[in-house]
Amino acid sequence: MIFRQIVFYALLVGALSGLVSTVVQMWQVVPIILNAEVYESEARPVPAHEHTGQDKLVAHEHPAEEWTPEDGIERIAYTLLANVLTGMGFALVIMAAMMASLHVGRKTRTPFNWRHGLVWGAAGYAVFFLAPTLGLPPEIPGAIAGPLEARRLWWIFTVVFTAAGLAGLAFGKSPWRWVAPVLLLVPQLVGAPQPPGPVFGEQLPAAAAGLERLAQQFIGATAIANAALWLVLGLASAWAVRRIVLSLEEESSSKIKAPSI
């Protein structure tokens, strides 16, 4: 019963947060990406090469370009779909954590209000965006990054340690509670995998300078978009968990009041 309610509300909260996130991205993030793609497609230097001798007799094909959605409705639709699915996944995580927190260090259940939603939204923002961004800033098209697998592992490592550190501060008991801040620092001390050279080293100097400016703007734009996502996730999840808890309390009280036959 509880699991079914959490899944239902997570789908609802995810759809709402994904829609809000998409609107903010269309306003803040997408224009920067489109400008960066212009640099990437037109300003990247193409090495000159010649085919001599027997090479002229060999069929030569350049790698096909990766598929990308067309600008306009198609791009918006794919962005919306990705954001909604992401929002649903995060909603499941945050709502499950909220329900679990009701049984940690509390004798009675306390339905969530909007203040709880803000706190949980801020925690999710710190865990899934702020802490990883300190080591791996959001990348725009044309940027060179470190090895993909290494970056994924460091991202997961950072999320786990940051979540554990915040949970320790919020629910831990003294004196171990004050060990939690160390967990927040560990991923940053380890350090994120960095690219082997300049981030825009494959671009012409003028294009590299333009992409560098866009990269700084992109960090701020993604910070705003993610803040909107987690604000809605926190508030909507708190509302949903409050409804679930109150419905469970009403069901429990009705069973107690029901006369035995």
Contact 199, 144 (CB under 8 A): yes
Q: Encoding tokens for residue 233?
A: 């996730």
pLDDT surpasses 50 at 181:
yes
pTM of the model: 0.83
180: how many CB neighbours lie within 10 A of its CB? 17
Contact 18, 80 (CB under 8 A): yes
Per-residue model confidence (pLDDT) at position 67: 61
d(CA 188, CA 198): 21
What are the two backbone dihedrals, phi and then psi, of residue 177, each rounded to the nearest 5 degrees? -60, -35
Per-residue model confidence (pLDDT) at position 77: 92
Overall average pLDDT of the 225-232 stretch: 96
Per-residue model confidence (pLDDT) at position 188: 92
Per-residue model confidence (pLDDT) at position 110: 62
Per-residue model confidence (pLDDT) at position 256: 65
Q: Encoding tokens for residue 207?
A: 């294009």
The burial of 256, by beta-carbon neighbours within 10 Å (0-12 exposed, 13-18 middle, 19 or more buried), is given as exposed
Q: Encode pLDDT of 56-92 as tens digits.
A: 434 444 445 566 667 678 888 999 999 999 999 999 9
Overall average pLDDT of the 138-164 stretch: 92
Domain boundaries of the chain, sorted by first residue: 1-40+70-103+112-145+199-255, 147-194
